[in-house]
């Protein structure tokens, strides 16, 4: 792309519908015979769309573009692409959370986990105790026996791995806070 500034203005004016008919004709002819000029036009078109999508054009140019290039739905999709790309890149721009913010978020996560675990454990323990009491008083049906086995398994599963994970996370939290 080695076009000079006046050519850039010419191409830009073409896209903004500012060129008289005969100059448009000459420019369009050149698009077919000069590949370098054609590529420069594609780049300028792309940048104009980009500026439009990011709200960087003057109101006048904006209207000119909407009346011209953007009348075709395929062209509008390119504007949407820039906006999607802009939003996507914003995610990368968001500053990384500080150590304090990370610790706060980890603490909230742990509290939630412990609360959930407490509710589940309370239910399983109560139901297990009810079935054990009933087993020694009246005996259990086959399905209740199966349920009792499953509850015993659940209580075992809730023990070591769960506490291991809690301990690891607490240790990390303490390290982050420099306690």
b/e map of 63-94 (b: 16 or more CB within 10 Å)?
ebbeeebbeeeeebebbeebeeeeeeeeeeee
Q: Which 85-104 residues touch other proteins, going by CB under 8 A?
A: 85-89, 92-93
User: Which span sits near other proteins by CB under 8 A: 30-38, 108-116, 140-148, 170-178?
Assistant: 30-38
Using CB under 8 A, pick the residue from 5, 32, 137, 179 that binds other proteins.
Answer: 32
CB 166 within 8 A of CB 113: yes
Taking the complex as a whole, the smallest distance from the CB of residue 73 to other proteins amounts, in Å, to 5
Dist. CA 65–CA 151, nearest whole Å: 68
* Per CB under 8 A, 28 contacts other proteins: yes
Residues touching other proteins, count (CB under 8 A): 43
User: Which span sits near other proteins by CB under 8 A: 49-57, 108-116, 144-152, 167-175?
Assistant: 49-57
Q: Which 114-173 residues touch other proteins, going by CB under 8 A?
A: none
* Per CB under 8 A, 13 contacts other proteins: no
Nearest Cα residue to 102 out of 173, 28, 53, 159: 173
């Amino acid at each position: 792309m080695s076009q000079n500034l006046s050519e850039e203005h010419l191409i830009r004016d073409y896209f903004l519908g500012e060129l008289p008919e005969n100059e448009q004709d000459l420019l369009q002819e050149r698009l077919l015979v000069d590949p370098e000029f054609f590529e420069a036009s594609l780049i300028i078109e792309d940048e104009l769309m980009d500026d439009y999508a990011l709200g960087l054009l003057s109101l006048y140019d904006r209207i000119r573009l909407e009346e011209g290039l953007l009348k075709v739905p395929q062209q509008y999709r390119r504007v949407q692409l820039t906006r999607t790309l802009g939003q996507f890149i914003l995610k990368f721009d968001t500053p990384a959370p500080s150590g304090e913010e990370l610790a706060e978020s980890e603490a909230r996560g742990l509290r939630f986990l412990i609360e959930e675990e407490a509710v589940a454990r309370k239910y399983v323990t109560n139901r297990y105790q009810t079935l054990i009491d009933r087993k020694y008083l009246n005996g259990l049906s086959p399905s209740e026996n199966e349920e009792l086995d499953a509850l015993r398994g659940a209580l075992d599963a809730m023990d070591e791995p769960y506490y291991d994970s809690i301990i690891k996370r607490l240790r990390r939290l303490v390290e982050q806070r420099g306690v």
